[in-house]
Every structure is written in structure tokens, then in C-alpha cells.
Structure 1
Amino acid sequence: MRPSWRAVLFMIGVVASIVLVALGTAQPGISLRDLGNGALLLLAVVQIGFTLQYLLKSPWWVNELGRIYATKSVIMTLVLWQVSASVISQSQYPGREYWRLVIYVGGALAMVWLWWSLRQYQRRGREDREQHGDFRTQRRIWIDTLRELAHKGRGA
């Protein structure tokens, strides 16, 4: 069976991380801190790419979960960019403390909203399953789903 591009990309990331750590420990001019800062900046760039694609090409506004996920994605993008800006400027840029306060409080509020909505969504799903005679626990559903996926993966 041929591996998926996602699995290949993941493995490339693992190997690249190992190589970067080895370089950081073996090369006197390269510090692990600098490599970590570069990785943080890369994460911020990838996060903004993901967030923009989600906001521009997905109908996130049609349901509550989509709106919440869009909000969370924007907040996480802002957090990563704020931290990256702090790392690049050694924590000194105009308005840093104000940006931090607004982004972090907004992030905490968005995560509480997301968490509450997730609990409501899960409760409604459980009630809907029970109305249709499915009284399995979430653990049992996961086990059954994983078994089904494993069975499909064997080509059966």
C-alpha cells in the first residue's frame, strides 16, 4: 500500500526536526534557540495560511461550530504572530503589552466559548443517538469506529 501525502509530509517534518536538533547541538554557530525561533516563525506562517484558506474558502458562517472554529483560528494566528514578533524583536516592539493583553484575553474568551459549545454539541449528539436507540458510550463509539476503519484498511 502506498503512503498518503500526509504521512509523507509528517515523516519529512519528523526527519527535518531531528536534523535541525542535531545541527543545533553539533554546530557551534547555530543554537537550538535560533532553530526553535525559526520553527516558531514557520508555524506562524503556516497557521496564517491555514486560517486564511479556512476563512476565504469554507462556509464557516453557516453553523455555530464553524463560526467558533474561525474565531479560534484567528485568535491562535494572532497569538503565534505576537509571540513570533516578540522573539524576532527580543520582546521590544511598540504596543507589545497592549497587543498581548487583547490577544490573550480574547483567546481565553474564545476558548471558553468553544469549550462550552463543544459540550453542548456533544450533549445534543448523545441525546440524538439515544432517541434513535444508540446508547453506546463515547468510548464504545471510538472503539467501534477504529475497528471499522482498520477493517476497511485491510481491503475487506
Structure 2
Amino acid sequence: MAKFSKKRGKASPKVSTASLPDIIFMLLFFFMMVTVLRDSTLKVAVNTPEATQLTKLEEKSLVNYIYIGRPTIQYRDLYGTAPRIQLGDKISIVDDIPLFLEQHKVKLPEAKRTQITSSLRVDGEVTMGIVQDVKTKLRKSNQLKINYSAGSRSGKLEN
């Protein structure tokens, strides 16, 4: 009769990798859901002034961002070096502001439309003439909640 011997402790059991693709896809899905993508590509250079007392805006979906500054180097041949207004992804003129505001309003529920804030991100080197024109057009469009964006002393941009 043959004698059988048991192998004890010589080989460790293999780790199952069957659930690894599921874990990878769950992580991928999680990061896709929580990542906030930038709304627009900046075509104007905006270096906001620094401030010490800042208030953070609560609901970012209720904010219209209006950028005012000189075009970046790659757009200077097309738009020149004078200060420009950027609404969303395109360089615009002051007369385009009411349409921009209306396009943002229709995306929101009826109850939240009165809570919309326009945030002006203005370069520190820009003269107040173009800023005053934007403010006047916002007032005529009945957009009375205006916020000036500023960077904190630590360099972190806040609203």
C-alpha cells in the first residue's frame, strides 16, 4: 500500500483577482461623478486682486462668471491687446450679456432664478470703464446681485 504525504505550509494560496475589474470600474465611476470639470477655457488673462476678508459663494450653479481682461498670448492676434469680456467660452461684447444671462436662467428651476449672482472676475490691470459698462448692462438686465472675485492673501482663489 502506498503512503500519501500531505504538503503543509509549502505554498500559499493564490489571491483571487476576479473582482479586480469591478473595483477598478467602481473607482472610475466614483471619480467621474465627483470631479468638477471647468466650465470654460479662459481666453483672457485674469489676475484678480488680493483681499483679506472673503466670503465664499454657496451654490456654484447659481453663479454667472463674467471674465474681464486682456486676451492671452495665443488669442492676441485675433482679438488684439485691449481688455475684452469673456462670457462662457467666447469673447463677447457688452450687448451679449442679456442673452448670456437668459441662457443661464432657463437651465435653472423657477424658484431659484431670483437667486442668481453674477461674479465678475476682473484683471487688476483693467481700467474701470469696461467694468462700469458691464455693471450698467447687468443693471439694465435686472441682474442686481453682483460679486467681485478676489484671491486671498495665501494665493487661493475664492469668491
* TM-score range normalised by the length of the shorter chain: under 0.3
Greater RCO (Cα-Cα under 8 Å, separation 6 or more):
2
* Higher radius of gyration, 1 or 2: 2
TM-score by length of 2: 0.23
Structure-1-length-normalised TM-score:
0.23
User: Which structure is higher in helix share?
Assistant: 1
